[in-house]
Amino acid sequence: MTKNFTTTKKSKFLTLFITVLCIAICLSCAELFSSLITVGAFSYSKNNEAKQQAFSLYSIYIYTAQTKSQADEMSSITRKKNGAGYIYQSDTGYLILTSCYENQNDAQKVIANLAENGIEGKLLEIKYDEIKFTAKLNETEKNTLTQSVQIYKNLYKKLYDLSVSVDTNLLTEIKAKNNLNDIIKDFLSKKQDFESIFNQRLTSAILKLKISLGNLSTILDNLYEYSSIEFPYSSQIKNSYFQILDEYSKLSKSI
């Protein structure tokens, strides 16, 4: 009887031990699975995309030139008349761009207004390629990188609005610079966010983006420091947004 009692006691103890062990294993697996789900949903389980979709803008030009010296002369004439005077190199020569629009109809209206004053304006559609980064990014990284590649077009839109406000006398040069200062602060904040996250993760493409954002900073600083002695301030604003768009075009072709 003693032997049977001992065997039964050991059997119960073994059953209890196995039960507790199974419960512990199940709980551990559940916790691990939960962690994997969290990582998959919010962090690094898959590649994320940060991109600026391809877009087109519609520019107007009045003058063309065959040589760079002629283009410089035509640019100066255009800028004195409040146009951007941005020199755009085409397959057939140089086009002197005056302004740029998101909507083709807006550009056509300006061309019609020029025609009423005996000036022949022509339309140029400029296509800008998509920029896309595909990498393992968490949501903060994805949002920051997306803001960085979209900042070019956003800056164009802000400077376009600023130029219109100056052209229509809603803003003086001083007030325009106050507004520009706010634009620059916002840009520098986004640039700082980008650098704080990606300075330690500089791939070739990310490095090119970093350098390009530095070039944007220089363009904006030059616009802020510009004094309208030779050319109107609105002309410099327009010329600056063409510089920013050109910076985007260079970046899209290099990565």
Phi, psi for 121 (deg, rounded to 5): -100, 145
78-117: pLDDT as tens digits: 999 999 999 999 988 999 999 999 999 999 999 999 999 9
Q: Are 89 and 181 members of one domain? A: no
> Do you know the residue count of the chain?
255
Nearest CA to 223 among 184, 172, 167? 184
- CATH number for the domain spanning 183: value is 1.20.120
Phi, psi for 82 (deg, rounded to 5): 85, 10
Greater confidence (148 vs 35) lies with 148
- CATH number for the domain spanning 66: value is 3.30.70.1070
Give the pLDDT mean for 211-226.
98
Nearest CA to 184 among 217, 213, 160? 217
* Domain end point (choices 127, 148, 183): 127
Position 31 scores a pLDDT of 42
Share of the chain above pLDDT 90, in %: 79
Q: Are 95 and 153 members of one domain? A: no
Q: Are 79 and 159 members of one domain? A: no
Mean pLDDT score across all residues of the chain? 87
* Domain end point (choices 94, 127, 160): 127
Q: Are 195 and 185 in contact (CB under 8 A)?
A: no
Tell me the sheet residues that pair with 132: 51
112-144: pLDDT as tens digits: 999 999 999 999 999 999 999 999 999 999 999
CA 46 to chain centre: 23
Domain for residue 17, yes or no?
A: no
Residue 33 has pLDDT above 60, yes or no: no
152-210: pLDDT as tens digits: 999 999 999 999 999 999 999 999 999 999 999 999 999 999 999 999 999 999 999 99
Q: Which long-range contacts (CB under 8 A, 24 or more apart) does 115-122 make?
A: 119/62, 120/62, 121/60, 121/61, 121/62, 122/60, 122/61, 122/62
Q: Beta strand 122-128 with 55-65: parallel, antiparallel or unpaired?
A: antiparallel
Domain for residue 40, yes or no?
A: no
Position 46 scores a pLDDT of 66
Residue 42 has pLDDT above 90, yes or no: no
Q: Are 116 and 169 members of one domain? A: no
Position 23 scores a pLDDT of 39
| 44-48, 73-77, 115-119, 121-125: least confidently modelled range | 44-48
Q: Are 53 and 130 in contact (CB under 8 A)?
A: yes
Q: Beta strand 48-52 with 86-89: parallel, antiparallel or unpaired?
A: unpaired
User: CB-based contacts of 8: which residues, under 8 Å, 6+ apart?
Assistant: none
Give the pLDDT mean for 2-26.
43
Q: Are 121 and 142 members of one domain? A: no
HSE of 52, CA atoms in CB hemisphere, 13 A: 22
HEC profile for the chain?
A: CHHHHHHHHHHHHHHHHHHHHHHHHHHHHHHHHHHHHHHHHHCCCCCEEEEECCEEEEEEEEEEECCHHHHHHHHHHHHHCCCCCEEEECCCCEEEEEEEECCHHHHHHHHHHHHHCCCCCEEEEEEECCEEEEECCCHHHHHHHHHHHHHHHHHHHHHHHHHHHHHCCCCCHHHHHHHHHHHHHHHHHHHHHHHHHHCCCCCHHHHHHHHHHHHHHHHHHHHHHCCCCCCCHHHHHHHHHHHHHHHHHHHHHHC
Q: Are 121 and 182 members of one domain? A: no
Q: What is the pTM of this model?
A: 0.81
Residue for token digits 């600056």? 240
